[in-house]
Amino acid sequence: MLTALVNGTFFTGKEEITGKALLIEDGILKGWTEAVSIPREAQTTDLKGYNISAGLLDLQIYGGGGLLFSDDPSAVALQTMADGLVRTGTTGFLITLATNSIQLFEKAIDVVRENPHPAVLGLHLEGPYINPEKRGAHIIEHIKKPERKEVEALLQRAAGVIKMMTLAPEMCDPEIIRLLLDNGVIVSAGHSNATFDEAARGFELGIQTSTHLFNAMSPLHHRDTGLPGAVYQSPSACASIIPDGIHVDFQALNISKKMMGKRLFLITDAVEESANPSAYTHIRQQDRFTLPDGTLSGSAITMLQGIRNCVEKAGIPLPEALRMASLYPAKLMNMPGRGEITIGHKANLTIFDQDFSPVATYVNGVGYNQ
């Protein structure tokens, strides 16, 4: 079937297009045309002046649709979470598990591997190989130094579904980092108390990014700029950042954007309330989640709300804020055709109104109305 999307503002990742129609045929982006030249057989969808961007990608999120995945890593929970996130405008995400037992990691791996979903890009294991001094909301009893046999067993079981791992570079031998990289896992420095030199060595070993810049890491101090300083100074290392104004002040977001440019991308780090709390009990406050003792845990924003904050609170232009939530994470994940509206690739689109509320999404060519 041929569909024509008309009367919208398209942010392609490279340019802003108005006054044209985007043609989609059998789920593939077919081409651009003038409104008067839309083929007669096309089904026309009037976008009513809405914005259309490449599908938003979230590389760190713990729950959706009212469910925290680690509470019950099951096929039903996976489907519920994915459907809930697609309704918020996110078209692809890494299910993230904070430090937990290896048994829970194995269960989650099996569920994701055996139940593919077009919006599920894989797993992000945030821990357990982190620094207990910077554990944040992570539970201390499962934090450990990595052993090669354990890591190899996880990778073998995953068969490729582990896409990212957050670890503290000062807690890991170089052979562990190389093992992960050799198996196609993106390694992210986080929950780390690394000095500048320790972090810089990690990036030299091949660590590609860092997890939620400023949160649960060594501070940017004038006598040792720590992990944030090493990220800033690296010519290639990326960093994720939580744009809620709580985990990171909007001025820190603005400064980091000026320092890092295209290397900085957005995550939500969002959780849900724990329905069946096991290791983690997240409690919803007015604008955030905390543990029972008040420790800040995950955010309460969607990706579209984070983009709005970038534009309205951090002075980042809308086209660039959209790239931070689509193109830049896609490049880190090495996903050609994602993160941009590119003719010839599958339709992955996020459609939203002037208030940054989701209207519809396309995930691998399949349309979802909100």
**Could you list the pLDDT tens digit for every one of the 370 residues in the chain?**
899 999 999 999 999 999 999 999 999 999 999 988 999 999 999 999 999 999 999 999 999 999 999 998 999 999 999 999 999 999 999 999 999 999 999 999 999 999 999 999 999 999 999 999 999 999 999 999 999 999 999 999 999 999 999 999 999 999 999 999 999 999 999 999 999 999 999 999 999 999 999 999 999 999 999 999 999 999 999 999 999 999 999 999 999 999 999 999 999 999 998 877 667 899 999 899 999 999 999 999 999 999 999 999 999 999 999 999 999 999 999 999 899 999 999 999 999 999 999 999 999 999 887 6
Specify the pLDDT at position 324: 99
3-class DSSP string for the chain: CEEEEECCEEECCCCEECCEEEEEECCEEEEEEEHHHCCCCCEEEECCCCEEEECEEEEEECEECCEEHHHCCCHHHHHHHHHHHHHCCEEEEEEEEECCCHHHHHHHHHHHHHCCCCCEEEEEEECCCCCHHHCCCCCHHHCCCCCHHHHHHHHHHHCCCEEEEEECHHHCCHHHHHHHHHCCCEEEECCECCCHHHHHHHHHHCCCEECCCCCCECCCCCCCCHHHHHHHHCCCCCEEECCCCCCCCHHHHHHHHHHHHHHEEECCCECCCCCCCCCCCCEECCCCEECCCCCECCECCCHHHHHHHHHHHCCCCHHHHHHHCCHHHHHHCCCCCCCCCCCCCECCEEEECCCCCEEEEEECCEEEEC
Rounded Cα gap, residues 163 and 273, in angstroms: 25
Q: For residue 237, what pLDDT is reported?
A: 98
d(CA 215, CA 298): 11
In order of their start, the domains of the chain are 2-53+340-369 (2.30.40.10), 70-332 (3.20.20.140)
Contact 268, 245 (CB under 8 A): no
Beta bridge partners of 349: 54, 362
**How many other β-carbons are positioned within 10 Å of the β-carbon of residue 2?**
15
Round to whole Å and give the CA distance between 346 and 74: 28
Closest by alpha carbon to 230, among 216, 209, 254, 248?
209
CA atoms within 13 A on the CB side of 127: 26
Please tell me which residue in 173, 197, 269, 355 is annotated as part of the active site: 269
According to the model, what pLDDT value does residue 29 have?
98
CA–CA separation, 264 vs 231, rounded Å?
A: 10
Q: In degrees rounded to 5, what are phi and psi of residue 270?
A: -80, 145
* Residue where the block lists tokens 């101090």: 221
> In this structure, what token pair is assigned to residue 45?
């969808």
Query: What are φ and ψ of residue 251, in 5° steps?
Result: -70, -40
Q: For residues 286 and 296, what is the distance between their CA atoms, to the nearest angstrom?
A: 12
Q: Which two tokens stand for residue 181?
A: 């990289």
**Dihedral-angle region of residue 13 (phi above 0 means left; psi in -120 to 50 means alpha; beta otherwise):** left
The pLDDT score that the predictor gives to residue 276 is 72
Is 269 known to be catalytic?
Answer: yes
